[in-house]
Amino acid sequence: MGCLASTPAKKDSEHSDSRCIQVRQSSERAPSEEPEHADAKNVECPGTLDTTPAKLEPMHADAPDVKSADKPGTLSAATAKVEPMHAEAEDLKCPEKLGTLNFAVNPRSFDDSEDCEVLKEAISSGNARICKVTGYTYGDGLYFSGLQLTYEVGGEHQIEGPRYVTNEKWPKPLELAKGETITEVGAQHGEITDQLWMKTSTGRKVEWGGVGGSEEIWKMPEGYDLMGFRGDQGPWRGGRSIMNQLGPIFVKKGTATQKTAQVLKSDLAAWVEMKNKKLGPPGKPPAPTNPDSEHQGDRAVLLALIKACGTPCHGEGPTKVPLEGWGTATRIGLWEGVIVDNVGRVKELYMERANLTGTLPDELGALDGLEELWCPMNDFTGGLTSALTKCKKLRTLNIHGNYKLEGFIPIDLLNKPGLICYVHNTNLISSMVSIEVPAFPFYVAYRRAILDMPRLLPHEEALEAGEIITQMHPEHTFTKWFGGVHRDEIAFMTHRWLHPKGLHPDDELGSKLDHIKEILENNPHIKYVWMDYLCVPQAQRYALKQQAAINSLPHYIKSCQHVYILVGEESEAHYSVYSGRGWCRLERICACVTVKGQNPEGHMYDELDYKVPTKLFLANKTTHSVKELSTTDVLEHSEFDPMEGSFFDETDRVKIAPCVDLLGKACQQDDDNPELQTIGTKLRESAAKYRDDTIFDQPAPSVT
């Protein structure tokens, strides 16, 4: 599923100021290490929600035994407050629950730290252990929906724990051998808890659910054992019964007990019976708003969808199971994943990982009441139908993971106020220009790959070779965390191509590559590098993807904490020559623009009032020197306007005009720097002379 984050959506500057749109177009997960690390965990970061996040209660400072998570996560906006850790229980560690209750209806809450003396005594004394974990999922294994622990008492008796299960589809057990224990618990979470995973002392790892949002990892505290969990369950959008919030509970080892195994077994059984009775039976999704009312036109649209893309179903091959009701005479309000309003119009459609193929039909545009369209991780082909622009109420379009979708996203969709699009892991191209969100994926090269590289490779060859470049996930708040990567681990290389219309940016000796290697060797903290030749499509057949990457330059640069200007003493490599080039000026002024995010040393839910630094360095390959430049150093020579710089191809002015306009607007909004505000006005006036948005009207090339 797509993930909504606590970050308020920022207004994009290319089109109407009144809209609040975020387009996700990036990898499903972000790398945390270079490829040689086999255990590197990739994490998907969240998207954007255009509301203000609720404040969370602080953790209790007087609870030294409480273990907080090592990594920041993301909580959806407008959520209920997350419970603080249990400061009063010195023998328990109860990290805060993850996820939100945004879409829960009458949630079932559970907490193994309540009324748990017998469970604490059994686990702490070593007379009982968790011997089995059964996880449950929904949506063909896409969403984590519940779990049940089985306890072994006295080495032989087994007691099934409380049933924290909302449905019994797709169960998967983790059975622990004698002496095998759970050592690590992790969760991927966005609006909900999308995935739960556990590692054991033997190195095994079992996952329940699909990829979620931010990741939280709980390693077993020294001297503690996993005792149980606490959380909240309830229906989610489309009537999906899933886990909304979840958190582990750890109990301190070493408490003696006088009870026999038989007594502990009896006491645990009574405790489980009490918990199940208190919990009640698994809840059912809310009934359709008006199941007896149906709009015949909307039924025709859904039948057209079946004809074009197949009947939505879960599973694979002979085990595929159609979503309940689809294609039958049953009222469409009773079809699984279809939500209708009080007059029977389709309001929400949920077809996640539903084995759909083909091209989305134009008939979808007739769904006048459609607000939510969720169909990620299918196998759609072709382009995104422009008929969706007719769905006037549409507020969420989630089509991520459809790798064969290609072409430009219809401009009217991008201009639609309040619409949030999730299009990552597709070949769709956006004409958006945004600091927060890239229109083309943010590729970077691994440090080791560059150090081992004999000559710079074009993007296409680097991508095909594998383990040279990878995608970073967009981090809208530009915090210390960039998925699992710090901003100070990413460096941006800005340089002047040596030859007009040259096919390669370096000379035959590879001096530019050697210069980059020298910078890396002197800065071991840099793990990833952005350079245009490696990270942007170079072939002419990808001209529109190049334009999308140009639109993304502000995002690329502000996502890197270090920007290096590569120069030398010889004439063509001199800084004065660099400063005269329009492309070079564009990248340099990007580094000077201020963006705000969360304080990287603060709490993960702090306000977005921290000025995110970007360090700009002048790196001279001839003198082997590196000098840090200030904004004043850049602007004092009055050579800052990219539109007034020189270009090998004069049509490039049109290509960069949207970016320059965006940067001008960002400069105008810098209340702390009047000089930069003045420069912003000049940049916007200059960009207006060349801006021509018809460059986005061409059809996208086929993806090979």
pLDDT on residue 535: 95
pLDDT on residue 697: 59
Residue 582's SS3 state is helix
pLDDT by residue (tens digit) across 602-648? 554 456 667 777 899 999 999 999 999 988 888 766 678 999 999 98
pLDDT on residue 400: 86
Sign (positive or negative) of CA dihedral 327, 330, 335, 341: positive
Sign (positive or negative) of CA dihedral 644, 646, 650, 651: negative
Whether the full predicted model's pTM is greater than 0.75, yes or no, is: no
Instruction: Look at residues 326, 346, 334 and name the one whose alpha carbon lies nearest to residue 292.
Output: 334
Mean pLDDT of the chain: 79
Q: pLDDT band for 564, please (50, 70, 90 cuts).
A: very high
pLDDT on residue 559: 86
Q: How far apart are the first and last CA of the chain?
A: 27
pLDDT at residue 426 above 50? yes
pLDDT on residue 515: 97
Residue that wins the pLDDT comparison between 332 and 59: 332
Supply φ then ψ for residue 216, to 5 degrees.
-120, 135
Residue 627's SS3 state is strand
pLDDT at residue 39 above 50? no
H/E segment holding residue 308: helix 296-309
Task: Answer whether 445's CB lies under 8 Å from 517's CB.
Answer: no
Mean predicted confidence (pLDDT) in 151-171: 87
Q: pLDDT band for 193, please (50, 70, 90 cuts).
A: confident
Strands 22-24 and 420-422, sheet pairing? parallel
Q: Would you give the distance in Å from CA 526 to the centre of its chain? A: 22
The DSSP 8-state label assigned to residue 41 in this structure reads P
H/E segment holding residue 133: strand 128-138
pLDDT on residue 638: 63
Q: What CATH number should be reported for the domain whose range is 53-279?
A: 2.100.10.30
Least confident of 286-295, 587-596, 658-667, 682-691: 286-295
Tokens 């975020």 correspond to what residue? 22
Instruction: Look at residues 255, 245, 252 and name the one whose alpha carbon lies nearest to residue 227.
Output: 252
Residue 334's SS3 state is helix
Q: Write the DSSP assignment of 640-695 as a string of letters.
A: --GGGSB-SSTTHHHHHHHHHHHHHHHHHT-TT-HHHHHHHHHHHHHHHTT--GGG
Supply φ then ψ for residue 155, to 5 degrees.
80, 0
pLDDT at residue 354 above 50? yes
pLDDT by residue (tens digit) across 22-32? 443 333 333 33
Task: Answer whether 703's CB lies under 8 Å from 427's CB.
Answer: yes
pLDDT by residue (tens digit) across 278-325? 887 766 666 666 667 789 999 999 999 999 999 999 877 787 889 889
Task: Answer whether 86's CB lies under 8 Å from 41's CB.
Answer: no
Q: What percent of the chain has pLDDT over 70?
A: 77
Q: pLDDT band for 140, please (50, 70, 90 cuts).
A: low
CA gap 306, 25 in Å, rounded? 27
Supply φ then ψ for residue 412, to 5 degrees.
-65, -30
pLDDT by residue (tens digit) across 235-261? 776 667 788 889 999 999 988 888 999
Residue 34's SS3 state is coil
Show the beta-strand stretches assigned E in 190-318: 193-200, 205-209, 214-219, 224-236, 240-252, 313-314
pLDDT by residue (tens digit) across 367-398? 999 999 999 889 999 989 989 999 999 998 98
Task: Answer whether 703's CB lies under 8 Å from 406's CB.
Answer: yes
CA gap 335, 328 in Å, rounded? 9
pLDDT on residue 238: 67
Q: What CATH number should be reported for the domain whose range is 296-428?
A: 3.80.10.10
Q: Residues of CATH 3.80.10.10 domain(s) within the chain?
A: 296-428
Task: Answer whether 128's CB lies under 8 Å from 268's CB.
Answer: yes
What lies within 8 Å, CB to CB, of 201 at 6+ separation is: 179, 180, 181, 182, 183
The DSSP 8-state label assigned to residue 263 in this structure reads H
Tokens matching residue 153: 């008492």
